[in-house]
């Protein structure tokens, strides 16, 4: 490049000192960056009086009363040769004018890609962990599900360096046994709130976990409508042995006994069986459930491990009232209290570990069918729908005093249901657009459990 005393530097200073050339030079520079060579033409729309005067003099054109002025690179080069700046290199003029290293778009793209590759490869060499490598490769290729990572990278150092470091440290140190998220965050980042969902690193960590979960093809990653984003995040963390809340998240159990693995052996916990003997129910928090290896019916008829699941607490209590009123042993029953929470899934997973057959009864409405669909998608071989046929639906409506209509917006939720077992019920509900509730079938449910 010429030194500042050369013709190119003088030409740049000349153009910069006259405002009438501002747009012209700026557009020429952008054209060069776009094409990668000195070619093409630019157009000034609605030229100002200053621009008309400057361009008319420099190019010896009549620019009066024109709504736009088009100038080619060839015209610019020819006009420049007629001035005292003849012989000046046009690229050098542009560099001096912009006061920056002039690069084409292709050169800038190549440089950015080189920097991106270096950034990712540096972390790959630092973290020899399959979760880290899977996520970093997805980020490098700008895969779907890496939007936050892309934004974090674009913000530049040192922020992106810090966010990526915390996320990668967390991914490389995922616990083998269940751990509370604040304690995990404190261990990883020295701050118990570093991985909160309101924190940048926490949001990036969740995005990384979601990508890993989807790539693992786990049943819980099925795209379904969850009660809330918070519940979705809690389930995602749980699938990687991280707990956000393990006390207020609970499930109600009756007629079950629990086992804990100790030294390779399953040991029965006596207080569960004692609760069954005394006719007591247990509200079991997630904190306790995650320590268990299996759940089983307290009474095991030959060849049968049936467990019944309801989502309505009123239905659950009515069933228990019947059995205690008749001085009968409590049935193996689980109540989720509405949509499946982490405690629900933890209990269900441990029933599955005990090779139980789960009988699920829910409401005849889009939300109830979605719950059934989720359960079937996770455990298709060990879940059986309980009183969920079109005939049961008809009986439910017959036993219901006031019928609740299902709005069109709620009916649209039925499109998310994919289980073939529910296909007929989806069509019936879509046609009838009337909700049926478990309470109307509670007598029938009880009779089933007596068999």
Q: Which residues contact 319 (CB under 8 A, 6 or more apart)?
A: 310, 331, 333, 442, 445, 446, 449
In 99-158, alpha helices (H): 105-126, 130-140, 147-154
Contacts 24+ apart (CB under 8 A), 78-82: 80/11
Write the pLDDT tens digit of every residue in 370-409. Answer: 999 999 999 999 999 999 999 999 999 988 877 789 999 9
- What are the tokens at 273? 């069986």
* pLDDT value, residue 160: 83
Domain-wise residue ranges, the chain? 7-102, 111-243, 250-450
* pLDDT value, residue 227: 55
Residue pair 376/340 in contact by the 8 Å Cβ criterion: no
Q: Which residues contact 332 (CB under 8 A, 6 or more apart)?
A: 254, 255, 256, 297, 298, 299, 306, 307, 308, 356
Q: Supply the angle between the helices 147-154 and 130-140 in degrees, to the nearest 10.
A: 70
Query: Whole-angstrom distance between the N-terminal and C-terminal Cα of the chain?
Result: 94
Per-residue exposure over 160-170, b if at least 16 CB sit within 10 Å of its own CB, e if not: beebbbbbbbb
- What are the tokens at 396? 């439910």
Report the topology of domain 250-450.
Answer: Dna Topoisomerase Vi A Subunit; Chain: A, domain 2 (3.40.1360)
Element (H, E) at 360: strand 357-361
**Dist CA 329 CA 320 (whole Å):** 10
* pLDDT value, residue 224: 46
Identify the bridge partners of residue 335 per DSSP, sorted by sequence position.
Answer: 252, 310
* pLDDT value, residue 4: 44
**Ramachandran assignment for 254, one of left (phi > 0), alpha (psi -120 to 50 degrees), beta (any other):** beta
Tell me which residues of the chain have a pLDDT lower than 50: 1-2, 4, 220-225
**Ramachandran assignment for 279, one of left (phi > 0), alpha (psi -120 to 50 degrees), beta (any other):** left
Please state the φ and ψ torsions of residue 342, each to the nearest 5 degrees: -60, -40
Q: Is 248 helix (H, G, I), strand (E, B) or coil?
A: coil
Write the pLDDT tens digit of every residue in 214-235. Answer: 887 655 444 444 557 888 888 8
Rounded to two decimals, the pTM is 0.68
């Amino acid at each position: 490049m010429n030194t500042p005393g050369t013709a190119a530097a003088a030409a740049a200073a000349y153009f910069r000192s006259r405002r009438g050339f501002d747009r012209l030079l700026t557009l020429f520079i952008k054209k060069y960056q776009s094409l990668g060579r000195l070619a093409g033409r630019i157009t000034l729309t609605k030229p100002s009086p200053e621009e008309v005067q400057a361009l008319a003099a420099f190019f010896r054109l009549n620019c009066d009363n024109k709504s736009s002025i088009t100038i080619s690179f060839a015209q610019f080069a020819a006009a420049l040769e007629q001035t005292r700046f003849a012989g000046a290199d046009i690229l050098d003029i542009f560099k001096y004018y912009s006061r920056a290293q002039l690069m084409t778009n292709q050169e800038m793209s190549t440089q950015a890609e080189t920097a991106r590759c270096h950034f990712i490869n540096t972390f790959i060499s630092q973290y020899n962990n399959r979760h880290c490598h899977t996520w970093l490769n997805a980020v490098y290729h700008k895969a779907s599900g890496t939007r936050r990572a892309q934004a974090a990278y674009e913000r530049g150092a040192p922020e992106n360096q810090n966010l990526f470091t915390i996320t990668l440290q967390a991914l490389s140190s995922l616990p083998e046994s269940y751990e509370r998220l604040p304690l995990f965050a404190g261990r990883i980042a020295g701050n118990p709130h570093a991985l909160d969902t309101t924190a940048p690193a926490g949001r990036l960590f969740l995005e990384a976990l979601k990508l890993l979960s989807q790539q693992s093809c786990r049943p819980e990653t099925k795209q379904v409508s969850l009660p809330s984003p918070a519940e979705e995040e809690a389930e995602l963390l749980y699938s990687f042995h991280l707990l956000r809340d393990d006390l207020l998240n609970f499930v109600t159990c009756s007629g079950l006994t629990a086992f804990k693995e100790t030294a390779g052996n399953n040991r029965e916990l006596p207080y569960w069986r004692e609760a069954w003997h005394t006719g007591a129910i247990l509200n079991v928090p997630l904190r306790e459930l995650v320590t268990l290896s299996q759940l089983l019916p307290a009474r095991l008829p030959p060849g049968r491990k049936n467990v019944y699941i309801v989502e309505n607490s009123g239905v659950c209590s009515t069933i228990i009232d019947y059995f205690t009123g008749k001085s009968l042993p409590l049935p193996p029953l689980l109540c989720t209290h509405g949509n499946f929470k982490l405690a629900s899934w933890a209990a269900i997973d441990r029933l599955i570990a005990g090779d139980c057959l789960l009988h699920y009864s829910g409401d005849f409405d889009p939300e109830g069918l979605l719950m059934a669909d989720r359960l079937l998608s996770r455990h298709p071989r060990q879940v059986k729908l309980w009183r969920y046929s079109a005939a049961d639906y008809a009986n439910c409506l017959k036993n219901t005093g006031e019928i609740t209509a299902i709005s069109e917006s709620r009916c649209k939720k039925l499109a998310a249901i994919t289980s073939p077992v529910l296909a007929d019920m989806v069509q019936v509900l879509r046609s009838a657009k009337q909700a049926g509730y478990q309470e109307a079938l509670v007598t029938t449910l009880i009779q089933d459990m007596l068999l």
